[in-house]
Amino acid sequence: MPTETVVIIGSGIVGKSWAMLFASAGHQVRLYDSFPQALEAAPQFITEKLKSLEAKGQLRGKLSAVEQIALITYKNDLKEALKGATYIQECTPERLEIKSGVFQDLNKALAEIGNDKAIIGSSTSTIMPSKFIADLDMRKRSVVVHPVNPPYFVRLVEIIPTPSTDPTVTAYVRQLLADLGQKPIVMNKELPGFALNRVQYAILNEMWRLVNDGVLSVEDADTVMTEGLAPRYCFIGPLETAQLNAEGFVDYCERYGDAIYDVSVTQTEIPKMTADGSKEIDRQLQEKVPNSELPARRAWRDENLAQLAVFKKNLGIL
């Protein structure tokens, strides 16, 4: 695998995770942020995180933590960061006007320094790429590369090209991510929310209905997933699950298709998730984990995800 010069735009949680991932594969990484305070905090976070992962036997890649740390540099000048860049990953806040502004800045800066080869990926989770890429000179080299948070521990990455994206760019990005140890998928057309969030929102909508209609408590609703669907979906997806629950998928549809339809037509109302409507769910959630304890809970989640990744690797399914 050739060594890339990778620029990460934005040093938030996702940006830092991308930096660690690319460094784990031996790439030269430049982490850029226009906000000095955010950038100043990044080196300590990354250093402590990589050394902690190494101590637990969870560090990705073949290089030591010290070697990976040395591959990451920090930049507050955009043009300087972009010189010689072969791949750029944008990780700025999920707002269209911000994404549009950042991509316009990248388009201009790359042109001014004469870099017409770098491929650009956006970490956007829901915004269709044509909305902020279509009119740019670099549109043929641009694509959405949406990770799942936290990307260091969750390997799925959604790749969403625009109609303007060069197919060789899509293929290059897919291989680049696979070489990192991620699990990339490619969407053949743009859809709002892409794939993962469309599935996730369908689940959240039904959980909202079940709790707010008084059918289940928050704890029991979450248990439906953690002790029912998730153990299977951790290893095989819903389509293969259906296949295994009958004598093949056609047989599954013949057996259960009518029942699935009859239940599904009762789910016609799409809830509008508002602050006022969320109070009961929030109350029950905070009885279990107060908002003041969320940082510790996130750390607990990440540790479990890391352990799960090790387990799946040992089973030979990573």
Residue 1: its pLDDT value, please?
Answer: 66
Within the chain, which residue ranges are assigned CATH 1.10.1040.10? 196-315
Tokens of 117: 């080869």
For residue 176, the tally of other CB atoms under 10 A from its CB is 23
Within the chain, which residue ranges are assigned CATH 3.40.50.720? 5-186
Residues 43-52: tens digit of each pLDDT = 999 999 999 9
CB 38 within 8 A of CB 48: no
Let me know the angle formed at the C-alpha of 113 by 21 and 68, rounded to the nearest 5 degrees: 20
Residues 184-234: tens digit of each pLDDT = 999 999 999 999 999 999 999 999 999 999 999 999 999 999 999 999 999
* Residues near 297 by beta carbon (within 8 Å), at least 6 away in sequence: 289
Residue 316: its pLDDT value, please?
Answer: 85
196-315 maps to which CATH number? 1.10.1040.10
d(Cα 130, Cα 283) in Å, to the nearest integer? Answer: 39
Residue 64: its pLDDT value, please?
Answer: 98
Instruction: List, for the chain, all residue ranges whose pLDDT scores fall below the cut of 50.
Output: none
Residue 153: its pLDDT value, please?
Answer: 87
- CATH architecture assignment, domain 5-186: 3-Layer(aba) Sandwich (3.40)
d(Cα 237, Cα 259) in Å, to the nearest integer? Answer: 20
Residue 287: its pLDDT value, please?
Answer: 97
* Residues near 52 by beta carbon (within 8 Å), at least 6 away in sequence: none
